[in-house]
Chain A
Amino acid sequence: METLIFALFASLALGSSIVVVAHKNPIYSTLSLVVTLFSVAVLFVLLGAPFLGVLQILIYAGAIVVLFLFVVMLLNVQREEMPHSGQPGQRVAALLGAVVFAAFLVLLFWRAGSPQGQPLTEEFVSLKALARQLFSTYLLPFEIVGLLLLVAVIGATVAARKPPEVEETASKEAAP
């Protein structure tokens, strides 16, 4: 049963991630990224991390992908795409590099053998142990990440704002 679910969602993740990379239209890429993220969330649950699975759906599929979709539609980029296709060797080189890289990774994991892992215990799956570690051993990084998110919000607002001189000239033009 577990193997069946793994096979289903692993193939779903692989297929939709290929669509993410290969599709010409950024909107379809973003939407199939949702499928990939959802499949990976299911795999998180299979691996005994239900909290991270929920978090993945909430944060990634819920917030980040919506942000992406918003920007894609705001900028209306799909007509810019692909009429002129860069250096000719670039695509071949990247594909070759990815294949070689994947082969090395596979080799690495193959040599590590195929361990069965610890059996899932109630204690491992429960939120309590994770929360205890997060709020004791990793309290300082947790606070720093909170600060980072605050800085990111401020930085994004400043970066996406209209430059002030444009606003001034626009208001001058509008005034008379």
Chain B
Amino acid sequence: MSPVPVSWYLLLAAALFAIGAAGALTRRNGISIFLSIELMLNAANLTLVAYARQLGDHTGQVIVFFVMAVAAAEAAVGLALFIAVFRNRLTIDVNRMNLMRW
């Protein structure tokens, strides 16, 4: 049994993060942007777990635990905000949300 090199996981995480970043920049539907952000958070989690494996230390895994909790809080509050915005403006297209511009 030959273990997979840790750097492969890091490369995969980099690719996932780049895909998520491209999505967050190009999509204009608020929910799709949120999904892209979750993707980036997951890529960061994968990096942390990979380094925890390489260093033989649990700290990275503890941080991933906290990241998951914060992501849950972020999703709940963000989706509630989108519901509130949708109720007022009948759209969640981020290009049309310009109340706070200037």
User: CB within 8 Å of B: which residues of A?
Assistant: 1-3, 6, 10, 13-14, 17-18, 20-22, 26, 29-30, 33, 36-37, 40, 43-44, 46-49, 51-52, 55-56, 59-60, 63-64, 67-68, 71-72, 74-75, 77, 80-81, 86, 90-91, 93-95, 97-99, 101-102, 105-106, 109-110, 112-121, 124, 129-130, 133-134, 137-138, 141-142, 145, 148-149, 151-153, 155-157, 159-160, 162
Contacts and interface: CB of A to CB of B under 8 A. Distances in A.
A129 B61 CA distance: 11
SS of A interface (majority): helix
B101 interface: no
22 contacts: A3-B4, A6-B9, A21-B19, A21-B32, A36-B39, A49-B49, A52-B45, A55-B65, A55-B68, A80-B91, A93-B25, A97-B21, A109-B10, A114-B6, A115-B54, A116-B5, A116-B6, A117-B53, A133-B59, A133-B62, A155-B77, A159-B80
Contacts of B97: none
Interface of B: 1-12, 14-23, 25-29, 31-32, 34-36, 38-39, 42, 45-46, 49-50, 52-56, 58-59, 61-62, 64-66, 68-77, 79-84, 86-87, 91-93, 95
Contacts of B29: 26, 77, 80-81
A120 B72 CA distance: 30
Given A148-B70, A155-B77, 13 more contacts: A13-B16, A26-B31, A40-B16, A60-B68, A64-B38, A64-B75, A94-B22, A102-B14, A105-B18, A106-B11, A117-B54, A118-B56, A159-B80
SS of B interface (majority): helix
